[in-house]
Structure 1
Amino acid sequence: MMTLSLMTDALSCLPFLDMVKKAKEMGIQQLEFATGNWSNSPHLQLDTLSGSSDARQEFLGILDEYGLSISALNCSGNHLAPNALGARHLELVHKTFALASLLGVKKIVMMSGLPGACEEDASPNWITTSWPPENLQMLDWQWRERLIPSWHSLIKRAQDCNIDAIALENHGSQLVYNAYTLKHLREEVGPMVGMNLDPSHLFWMGGDPRAMARSLGSMIYHVHAKDARIEEGLFQVQGLLDTQPIEAYATRSWNYVALGYGHDLSWWKEFFSVLAMVGYDGPISLEMEDMTMDQITGVTKSIELLKAAMPRCWE
């Protein structure tokens, strides 16, 4: 049965204990904790928990007291960046794997990574078209020389840490960002990696998460409940490749929004129905980044929609 989870960054306005109490009050069953990299990790101190069994016992004890468990640890970042940032992010990925072992967490959520386009590159390079012809040569190099060797190494480390699954988010500016690229990576490195299906990213890339769910089936290891709205009157002029900052929501072609503010209840009911059809029964982890409302409001409204849409009864 699908469980209701929260990516706790959505309530970064609250300290740890207050967040846990609010999650319990809202009927949330599991929590997904960010450990760092692109998150400031508001509710989990990676080094403290890694270095102290007492700290881990206290942390897990609080979750147990409120009837909550950990759905996943999230270390999303770019461990393949060809610079100091990549080295720092990779180090944190390794630390997260080790902490998962200490906490008994079996699933990691992260991203595939994005390297440069050649040996000399000092910055990541996301190639999104097959023309001009040199693009395909660079893309082949990224996969052959960087992505595949890196993931063979990461999977071995994950296995040593007793991790069962790594769910890669279908985010833009990553080498794995859709069904095709995930399947391609699995062909090379095996079934340890699957998809963290986040509908919001596929929306702005012009896809349909319901179709992605049907295509991936058992390759879906985690689901982020996150919505995006394509902005009428703007995307028709600008297209969907929008580089304006997220804070410029009034002029962007698309925006992240609370659940129901981009796609209605009917859409989400069908999405969860399709997930059930393909056999997914894991966490539905709310991620809320609507900048037009405060976090408590956005999470509350999103939870209301999830309880109405998910194929289960609530007490």
Structure 2
Amino acid sequence: MKLALCTDVLADLPFPEMLDKVKNYGISGVEMTAGGWSPCPHVKTEELLASADKLARFRAELHQRDIEIVALNCSGNPLAPGVLGEKHTRSSYQAIELAGKLGVKKIVMMSGLPGGGPEDKVPNWITSTVSWPDYMPGVIDYQWNEVAIPWWKTFVAHAKQHGIEKIAIEEFPSQLVYNPATLLRLRNAVGDMIGMNLDPSHLIAMGADPIAAVRKLEGAIYHVHGKDARIERGLADIDGLMEYQPVTATKSRTWNYVAVGCGQDLQWWKEFFSVLRMTGYDGYVSLEMEDLTMSVEAGLQTSIDALNMTMSR
């Protein structure tokens, strides 16, 4: 396994300076956002698609530092009703086209989440039993069979035309794919270009065991995020893990994203990577640093040190 960095954490640095910073950390792989929710601080997708000269200069900056784009990230909600879905669909298709021009073979995305029916104006995440109320089964059927599966079949065909080999979907809360079972449902319906970007922090925050998930997903893990979460003792015990407070309210939330090793200990991370390697994954691990309890520099260095001590190489 090799360590990469999700570069949005260095959004305040211009592209060349960001790449220099990455090299200073001893990292030679980057995952950069090219669409979706992110402001895409380092990848101006439309500009790069429109200008062969800008694209060549962009590639030259990477080449002269011997840095590889391990994946372009386009995490958003292309299945959302209305303007948002249209915007994220457009940026997803453009990210695919840019990846093709750059020779990048892997895209990291989220599945998207539709409304609960054709008239809904906002996405609707169903997490309770479909046994009651009795309208729930119809919502699930609409979201999967009328929206998600047709969209993804068309999108996968587009990706194949541009030389993409893998689409790694992050199992994120408030998305249609949020755990191994839902990932496998989409994969079985659409094909094996679809796999998972396994981000252990999300499974931890939903009360699941990422190590058990690795075994379940053998052969279907296409990318991994190095990201940790901590269940906050004395708070989660009372209110559980269904948490809607803003991520900035770290002191009162029942769980938080934290630097690697500040949630699960290093022995846990060693087992996680060992099982990943045992089940066939030997690709990049992209550090995604979103710990708001410490400085960016401290969070990055803490996470890099922890990952370098635990990754199976």
Query: Which TM-score bucket, shorter chain as reference?
Result: over 0.9
Question: In structure 2, the residue corresponding to 1:218 is in which secondary structure?
Answer: coil
Q: Partner of 2:80 in structure 1?
A: 81
Q: Among the aligned pairs, what percent are the same residue? A: 51
Within a 5 Å distance, the mapping from 1:156-235 to structure 2 comes to 156-235=157-236
- The separation in 1 between residues aligned to 2:36 and 2:192, in whole angstroms, is 25
Letter paired with 2:199:
D
Q: Partner of 1:32 in structure 2?
A: 31
Q: Partner of 2:150 in structure 1?
A: 149
The two structures, once aligned, show a CA RMSD in angstroms of 1.0
Question: In structure 1, the residue corresponding to 2:217 is in which secondary structure?
Answer: helix
- The separation in 2 between residues aligned to 1:126 and 1:31, in whole angstroms, is 31
**Which deviations, in whole Å up to 9, do the C-alpha atoms of 1:179-209 show, x marking residues without a partner?**
1111111111110100000000000110011
- The separation in 2 between residues aligned to 1:277 and 1:256, in whole angstroms, is 27
**Which deviations, in whole Å up to 9, do the C-alpha atoms of 1:134-193 show, x marking residues without a partner?**
212211111010011001110111111111110000101111111111111111111010
| Contact preservation (8 Å) 1:74, 1:109 | yes
Letter paired with 2:47:
T
- The separation in 2 between residues aligned to 1:263 and 1:186, in whole angstroms, is 29
Q: Partner of 2:300 in structure 1?
A: 299
- The separation in 2 between residues aligned to 1:23 and 1:72, in whole angstroms, is 15
- The separation in 2 between residues aligned to 1:288 and 1:92, in whole angstroms, is 24
| Contact preservation (8 Å) 1:33, 1:72 | yes
| Contact preservation (8 Å) 1:11, 1:296 | no
Letter paired with 1:134:
Y
- The separation in 1 between residues aligned to 2:66 and 2:26, in whole angstroms, is 10
Deviation at 1:213, TM superposition (A): 0.6
- The separation in 2 between residues aligned to 1:297 and 1:45, in whole angstroms, is 28
Runs (4 or more) in structure 1 with deviation over 2 Å come to: none
Q: Partner of 2:101 in structure 1?
A: 102
Deviation at 1:117, TM superposition (A): 0.7
- The separation in 1 between residues aligned to 2:13 and 2:302, in whole angstroms, is 17
**Which deviations, in whole Å up to 9, do the C-alpha atoms of 1:118-144 show, x marking residues without a partner?**
111111000011241321221111101
- The separation in 1 between residues aligned to 2:291 and 2:188, in whole angstroms, is 36
TM-score calculated relative to the size of structure 1 = 0.97
Q: Would you say 1:62 and 2:77 are equivalent positions?
A: no
**Which deviations, in whole Å up to 9, do the C-alpha atoms of 1:93-132 show, x marking residues without a partner?**
0110110111111110001110001111111000011241
Q: Partner of 2:240 in structure 1?
A: 239
Letter paired with 2:124:
N
